[in-house]
Amino acid sequence: MKLIPRFSVLLSCKINLSAQAMKNIAIFASGSGTNAERISQYFKDKSQVSIKLILTNNTKAGVLDRAAKLGIPSLVFSRSDFYESEAVMNRLQAEKIDWIILAGFLWLVPSNLLRAYPNRVVNIHPALLPNYGGKGMYGMRVHEAVVASGDKESGITIHYVNENYDEGQVIFQAKVGIDASDQPQDLAAKIHELEYANFPVVIEKLLNEE
């Protein structure tokens, strides 16, 4: 893998899905859905991977418009759908979903989904865990905390999901330097570039290794 200018990438991925069976992916997102869109575009022409469904807990999420433009079915669910019924699980099973990808999804994943998809629920976090993780640490809140701390670098963490926020086993991390003049929005732009460049590739590597 080529290094992105100014970024230090900590994992090299060799990809070969040609001999494997079709893998169906569901993406969960709560916001604009830029990562969901990048992932969907990355796998668009790959015959062994299908983005079957995009799900959100937010009726106003921008990811719904992105899903429509991409021609991918979407599902909006409520808190009770997610935590008090099998509505979401039933839809995932109907679509024969193999992997769940969290791309800016803000709710804790319930235990019934984790049991149904052991080591097949993957999240991306916009910092170098275990730092700057946990409940309430997402989006610009993370970047504001990192810049305020005076840290010289930040990055992304891709990890398996467990019963606690941001505590699952780390799969991949990539770093980026923080300039003295960087504001939270500057750091956010750098982190987005890391996410877009690495998240789809790491997902593909996980599918390839299965």
Alpha helices in 45-136 (DSSP H): 62-70, 79-83, 87-94, 111-116
Which tens digits make up the pLDDT trace of 147-199?
Answer: 999 999 999 999 999 999 999 999 999 999 999 999 999 999 999 999 999 99
Q: What's CA 103's distance to the chain center, in Å? A: 3
143 is known as an active-site residue: no
Residue type, 158: I
Topology at the third CATH level for domain 22-209:
Rossmann fold (3.40.50)
Alpha carbon distance 47, 144 (integer Å): 40
Catalytic residue among 125, 143, 159, 192: 125
* Average pLDDT estimate for 124-140: 97
Q: From residue 79, give the alpha-carbon distance in Å to each of 85, 86, 139.
A: 9, 12, 21
Query: What is the pTM for the complete model shown?
Result: 0.89
Residue 134: both structure tokens together: 């946990």
Q: Which residue has the higher pLDDT, 76 or 3?
A: 76
What are φ and ψ of residue 110, in 5° steps? Answer: -70, 160
pLDDT at 96 over 60: yes
Predicted local distance difference test score (pLDDT) of residue 18: 44
Residues 6+ apart with CB under 8 A from 60: none
